Each structure stands twice: as structure tokens, then as C-alpha cells.
Amino acid sequence: MAADDVTAHALLAGSTSIPIAMGEELHVSLAAAVPDGLWVEWIPQLGPITTSRLAVAEGRAHPSAMAGIGISRDDEAISRLNGSS
């Protein structure tokens, strides 16, 4: 689903007070921006290939102050896993 589709669905759900699950942690900023964004999926498999992750404290996800989605990929780790190093 494209980002615009996710945003449209979130806004539609918010306008009708329907709780919405945003899917993966990449959408935590969107979930925080709509009144009924209740869940984001934690993806532990991202750990080995990222240098920054979703902040979780006391069971709540917190959007990053970084620009973008708040998750930085680790290009060296990705290359190693792909056998390119």
C-alpha cells in the first residue's frame, strides 16, 4: 500500500472514530498524528540492518525527532548479509 493510501485510510478511520492498526513501525509518526491510531507492528528483523530504531517506552511507541521515518539503515550490515563485502 502506498504512503498516500495509508494516510487516506488513517484519516478516514479517524473521522469515524474507528481504531486503526498502522502496520509496521515505519508508520509510527502517522499513528501518532491521527486520533485513533492505536497500534504499530514491531519488526525485530530490522535490528541487524538498522542503526536507529523505533523508540518504545512503557509499552508505547514514540515517533522519532529525525526527519523521515526515524529508522536509519545500516548499509554495511546490509552488504554483509547480501554477501557483498
Q: What is the pLDDT of residues 15-68, one digit of tens each?
A: 677 777 777 777 788 778 777 777 888 888 888 999 888 888 898 888 888 877
Distance CA 7, CA 57 (A): 25
pLDDT at 2 > cutoff 60: no
Distance CA 59, CA 36 (A): 17
pLDDT at 74 > cutoff 90: yes
The count of C-alpha atoms lying within 13 angstroms of the C-alpha of 51, restricted to the half-sphere facing its C-beta, is 8
Which residues does 64 contact at the CB level (< 8 Å), separation at least 6? 28, 29, 52, 54, 55, 70, 71
**Where are the domains positioned within the chain?**
3-81
Which of the two residues, 64 and 12, has the higher pLDDT score?
Answer: 64
Instruction: Please state, as a whole number, how many other Cβ atoms lie within 10 Å of the Cβ of residue 15.
Output: 11
Which of the two residues, 12 and 48, has the higher pLDDT score?
Answer: 48
